[in-house]
Amino acid sequence: MGIETVSDYDDGFELLKTLDSRIGEYVYQRKINYDPDHCQYFHRRPNKNQEGYCHRCADVCPTFGVGKDDSLMELIFSKIDCIGCGNCVNVCPSGSLQRDGYDKEAIVEIAKLYKNKTPVVMDFDTFETLEEFDFYSCIPLLLPQVNLLNEMYLMTLIQESGSEIIIFTKNPSENLLESIKLVNNIYDCIHNIKPIHITEEIKALSDLCDTLKPNKNLSYTYAQNQREALRDIFAQRLMFLIKNNDYGIVKNTQTSHYGEIIINQNTCTLCMSCVGACNVKSLSSNASNFSLQFNPSSCTTCGYCVDSCPENAISLDLYGISLSPSWFENKTMAQDKMFECIECSKPFATTKSIEKIKSIMLPIFKDDTAKIRSLECCPDCKVKVMFEKNIEAFI
């Protein structure tokens, strides 16, 4: 039925007449597909403000197409209200939101069709206004809405086509402009070019179509996995550009969120709560050397691990992207020795975690030698020590 403001009508009858004219059958197409597996909001604890850690999709939605329920920590989608603007797809850091028919797999397959051609990216409606336009050697690449393109999609179009690209639109979103800025800054650092050109002027479009040519140095094909997270795909494409070189740091734009976590090794007990909190596998544990590993290229900087740490040992540094090989490697953030049970010598915990527990429990246990000894025992031997104490009490 839509939303109307009463004050816009002279009387109630006129308002009812307008609403009555809209009664009928409507067909609504699903425009957005949602996969909660990597979603940074779905079923997570609320933060200190009782909100989710990431709800950018709901924040940028200009209608009621995407909303959120903080009591259930679930996103709400409305086919009726969604206008297919693409803003939610652009800002989703994990790729949980995809445009129906134009997901990340479809985009890469479309881009491959433009190999050694210069794509002119525009939406369907814009293309209809260019009936007699001469694209020269360039070829139009049509999307439902260009604003869905984020840095991963943009880099895919450049590398799979092997060419600089043109985006022709009169209504670019702020997020699209910032994504373009980020990718252009990356290429500027590495190749001293800015491969994405955006314009709304016919004359400028004509000049670009006449001058831009494919560039084999930009060409790269990556066989992405269907279940691969957006940041992982972006990292693979970025690795191709960097190779073994170090090009410094590209700072975040106003809407990008790249960086890494900092861990205080003196307070971290390697409880691995942060590993359990991370659903993009940026954080992991290495059982072979009892260490906590972190890969900054996969991190969405959602901050969930920060508040999940019981020791307040984690902080975020949103400095941008490090254009060096180390950005894609697992880093050892904290490491410890395994603590062996004083009864059976079986390793069962880290030394730091045992010391932490002892510092808390010793003042409570005081002179109870059995309980104090149990603090340094594995679960099996802990039962044995306390059982022997109770037996002695009855003898």
Domain that holds residue 379: 340-394
DSSP 68-121: EETTTTEEEE-TTT-----HHHHH-SSS-EEETTB-HHHHHHHHHTTTTS-EEE
**Same domain (yes/no): 177, 191:** yes
Q: Is the pLDDT of residue 389 over 90?
A: no
Domain assignment present for 234: no
Lowest mean pLDDT among 9-18, 21-30, 230-239: 21-30
CA dist 340 to 308, 336, 371, Å? Answer: 27, 13, 17
Q: Is residue 125 part of a domain?
A: yes
pLDDT at 80: 87
Instruction: Tell whether the model's pLDDT for residue 37 goes beyond 60.
Output: yes
HEC-encoded secondary structure of 233-280 = HHHHHHHHHHCCCCCCEECCCCCCCCCEEEECCCCCCCCCHHHHHCCC
Would you say residue 246 lies in a domain?
no
Domain boundary among 335, 368, 384: 335
Mean pLDDT for the stretch of residues 273-299? 94
Mean pLDDT of 169-179: 96
154 close to 198: Cβ distance less than 8 angstroms: no
Q: What is the mean pLDDT of residues 36-43?
A: 93
Q: Are residues 277 and 345 in the same domain?
A: no
pLDDT of 1: 52
Does 326 share its domain with 355? no
Alpha carbons 376 and 328: distance in angstroms, whole number: 38
Are 331 and 344 members of one domain? Answer: no
Work out the average pLDDT over 8-12: 86
Examine the domain organization and report whether 126 and 213 are in the same domain. yes
Q: Are residues 379 and 306 in the same domain?
A: no
End-of-domain residue from the set 94, 126, 157? 94
User: Would you say residue 21 lies in a domain?
Assistant: yes
Domain for residue 99, yes or no? no
Check whether residue 112 and residue 195 sit in a common domain.
Answer: yes
Average of pLDDT values for 83-98?
95
pLDDT at 193: 96
CA distance 203 to 205: 5
Lowest-pLDDT choice from 15-19, 42-46, 282-286: 15-19
Q: Is residue 240 part of a domain?
A: no
- pTM of the entire predicted model: 0.85
Q: For 311-328, how does the pLDDT look when each residue is reduced to its tens digit (9 = 90+)?
A: 999 999 999 999 999 999
On whether residue 242 sits in a domain, the answer given is: no
How far apart, in whole angstroms, are the C-alpha atoms of residue 301 and residue 304?
8
- Each residue of 353-387: pLDDT tens digit? 899 899 999 999 988 999 999 999 999 999 999 98
Mean pLDDT of the chain: 93
Same domain assignment for residues 185 and 270: no
Q: Are residues 313 and 367 in the same domain?
A: no
Same domain, residue pair 66 and 109: no
227 assigned to some structural domain: no
**390 and 357 both lie in a single domain:** yes
345 in the same domain as 330: no
Q: How confident is the model at residue 19 (pLDDT cuts 50, 70, 90)?
A: confident
Report whether pLDDT(393) > 70.
no
Read off the CATH number of the domain in which 295 is found.
3.30.70.3270
Q: Which tens digits make up the pLDDT trace of 183-216?
A: 999 999 999 999 999 999 999 999 999 999 999 8
Task: Give the amino acid at 154.
Answer: L
Q: Provide the angle, in degrees to the nearest 10, between the axes of the packed helices 174-191 and 151-161.
A: 50
Last-in-domain residue among 221, 238, 271: 221
Find out whether 249 and 320 touch, Cβ atoms under 8 Å.
Answer: yes
Task: Give the chain's domain count.
Answer: 4
